[in-house]
């Protein structure tokens, strides 16, 4: 059974909700999944893989996720890592394209990082916006499908690592 650390940064709880959904799905699939906010992760050792999630606000990936990557680089360089972000509040291709560029730009600073999977999901307005005015572009079916694929991505990463010179 694979063990996943689901580490997340969140400001208003929506990224935590996505992390919970991913953790629950991995558990349903027979993996061990442990969730923690990034600032509460003391060590990533002992896990088979790490899933890191954070929102994109004002064109920038949450800086707490950056700090997490820098703090745990030594272990993460040799551990399979999957990364997700919550981005646009609109489901238009233009909004997703803009957020993908912002997300890619954020990850480009970590040249040592070779994620086994990277995914951008839609975001949601903060809770202070109520009712019909609150936008929620999260696609729960897409989130579940991504989580479904993580155990296989981990197996492929392990197989590739086991056969490398």
Q: Tens digits of per-residue pLDDT, 130-163? A: 666 778 899 999 999 999 999 999 887 777 654 3
Domains and CATH numbers, the chain: 3-162 (3.40.50.360)
pLDDT of residue 131: 64
Three-class DSSP labels, the chain: CCEEEEEECCCCCHHHHHHHHHHHHHHHCCCEEEEEEHHHCCCCCCCCEEEEEEEEECCEECHHHHHHHHHCHHHHCCCCEEEEEECCCCCCHHHHHHHHHHHHHHHHCCCCCCCCEEEEECCECCCCCCHHHCCECCCHHHHHHHHHHHHHHHHHHHHHHHCCC
The predicted model scores a pTM of: 0.91
């Amino acid at each position: 059974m694979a063990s996943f650390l689901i580490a997340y940064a969140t400001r208003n709880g929506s990224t935590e909700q996505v992390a919970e959904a991913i953790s629950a799905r991995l558990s349903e699939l027979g993996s061990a999944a442990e969730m923690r906010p990034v600032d509460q992760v003391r060590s990533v050792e002992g896990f088979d893989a790490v899933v890191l999630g954070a929102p994109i606000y004002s064109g920038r990936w949450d800086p707490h996720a950056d700090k997490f990557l820098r703090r745990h680089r030594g272990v993460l360089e040799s551990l399979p890592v999957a990364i997700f972000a919550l981005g646009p509040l609109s489901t238009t291709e233009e909004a997703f394209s803009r957020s993908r560029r912002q997300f890619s730009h954020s990850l480009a600073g970590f040249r040592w990082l070779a994620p086994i999977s990277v995914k951008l999901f839609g975001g949601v307005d903060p809770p202070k916006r109520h009712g019909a005015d609150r936008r929620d572009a999260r696609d729960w079916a897409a989130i579940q499908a991504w989580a479904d694929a993580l155990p296989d991505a981990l197996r492929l990463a392990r197989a590739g690592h086991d056969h490398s010179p």
